[in-house]
Amino acid sequence: MADDGECGEVEMSDEQKKEIAKWFLINSPAGEIQYVAKDLRSVLSDEDAYNEAASEAFPLYNKSHMICLEMPGTTGDVLVTSFSEIDKNEYLDPRTAHVAIIDHVKQVCTAVRPAADEELPSAYVEEFRCAMDAEILKYVSEAYPKGVCSVYCINGKDAEGPGCDFEFAVVISAARHSPQNFCNGSWRSIWNIEFKDDMQMLEVRGGLQVGAHYFEEGNVQLDAKHECKDSTIFQSPEDCAISIANIIRHHETEYLTSLQASYSNLPDTTFKDLRRKLPVTRTLFPWHNTMQFSLSRDISKELGIGK
């Protein structure tokens, strides 16, 4: 006969509880970490373990999802990204030359201070950055109804004139949160632009990511990623900005078009792979009329397919 101890539940250590809670928080869908946190707090029944997990997970989540927070007392917003991070809770908004102090767990900006001179690029680099910021802002306002963007100098910010190399990161973030309709989604793109003066070239590398969570009568998540490269010639700040904005517009539009095309084929491809050809009930699935199912219908409606 087995000992009673062998049949009993094994108690998890505080470290294990923290790591599991941290995993769930970091992997929360776009806009849903506060809901996950509330449930985890209740399930854990261990305030210390929850607080430790939250203090580690929220900064990682906020930066990876590039959340946008309103800065009090100013007309600007700040994007929480690894490129804007000055200190653990301080993030630069280069457009207003302010630094926001962030409460990661509450996801709010608690204070704002002017950026110090050493935290900002040189006048030469700033001329290129401002021109690019203006063009990207124009593009994002046209392409993404709720999009935000920022341009950061991530290398060579002390360059004083021609002959120096420097690098920008263009960040674009757009989210559509509609939990009352059981649907949340986000678009995130990061573009690294290397200004190589000796070669008179700008090298462009882009990383695009689309996330969506549909949870009415089920739990369906999308996480699509795409990378691309391009280049253009080194010109004046205004001409460089226009060229880069056109490159970004081209690649993002192309990727969105390919996504739309793949989803228009969902009934004939992906949906069929989710189910047996002939289920155990011996009743054939009505592939000729998949639009009767809410997921297919709602995705087609959102993308404007079949109109």
* CATH code for the domain of 58: 3.30.1140.60
Does residue 53 sit within a domain? Answer: yes
Does residue 293 sit within a domain? Answer: yes
Does residue 95 sit within a domain? Answer: yes
Residues 36 and 76 in one domain: no
CA 228 to centroid of chain Cα atoms? 17
State the pLDDT at residue 222: 84
Residues 249 and 277 in one domain: no
Residues 76 and 60 in one domain: no
Other beta carbons less than 10 A from residue 59's beta carbon: 17
Residues 191 and 222 in one domain: yes
Residues 200 and 157 in one domain: yes
State the pLDDT at residue 263: 74
CA distances 250 to 26, 113, 128, 243, 254, Å, are 31, 37, 21, 11, 6
Q: Cβ(166)–Cβ(153) under 8 Å?
A: yes
Does residue 153 sit within a domain? Answer: yes
Does residue 92 sit within a domain? Answer: yes
User: Which two tokens mark 182?
Assistant: 């059981």
* CATH code for the domain of 243: 3.90.1150.210
State the pLDDT at residue 1: 45
- Ramachandran bin of 111, using left for φ above 0, alpha for ψ from -120 to 50, beta for the remaining angles: beta
State the pLDDT at residue 3: 52
Taking the C-alpha atoms of residue 242 and residue 248, their distance in angstroms, rounded to an integer, is 10
Report the b/e string of 12-38 with b at 16+ CB within 10 A: eeeeebbebbbebbbebbbbebeebbe
Q: Cβ(258)–Cβ(267) under 8 Å?
A: no
Residues 193 and 222 in one domain: yes
Residues 133 and 245 in one domain: yes
State the pLDDT at residue 53: 94
Query: Can you list the positions of beta strands (E) in 46-182?
Result: 68-70, 77-79, 85-87, 90-93, 98-103, 108-114, 147-155, 166-178
State the pLDDT at residue 145: 86
The residue among 111, 237, 96, 101 whose CA lies nearest residue 166 is 237
Location of structure tokens 């001179």: 117
pTM, two decimal places: 0.83
Does residue 2 sit within a domain? Answer: no
The residue among 253, 238, 165, 166 whose CA lies nearest residue 206 is 253
Report the helix count and the strand count for the chain, using DSSP H and E.
8, 11
User: What total number of domains does the chain contain?
Assistant: 4
Does residue 286 sit within a domain? Answer: yes
Residues 79 and 126 in one domain: no
Taking the C-alpha atoms of residue 242 and residue 136, their distance in angstroms, rounded to an integer, is 9
Q: Please measure the distance between the N-terminal and C-terminal CA atoms of the chain and give it in whole angstroms.
A: 68
Q: Cβ(91)–Cβ(44) under 8 Å?
A: no
pLDDT digits (tens), the chain, 307 positions: 445 545 556 777 888 888 999 999 999 999 999 999 999 998 888 888 899 999 999 999 999 999 999 998 867 899 999 999 998 899 999 999 999 999 999 999 999 999 999 999 999 999 999 999 999 999 999 999 889 999 999 999 999 988 899 999 999 999 988 888 888 999 999 999 999 988 899 999 999 999 989 888 778 888 899 999 999 999 999 999 999 999 999 999 999 999 888 777 666 666 666 555 556 666 665 656 655 555 556 655 555 555 5
Residues 141 and 81 in one domain: no
Residues 78 and 195 in one domain: no
Does residue 4 sit within a domain? Answer: no
Residues 274 and 253 in one domain: no
- Ramachandran bin of 191, using left for φ above 0, alpha for ψ from -120 to 50, beta for the remaining angles: beta
For 287, which DSSP code? Answer: G
Residue 206 sits in which domain range? 121-257
Residues 143 and 239 in one domain: yes
Instruction: Count CA atoms within 13 Å of residue 66 on its CB side.
Output: 23
For 81-119, what is each residue's pLDDT tens digit? 999 999 889 999 999 999 999 999 999 999 999 999 999
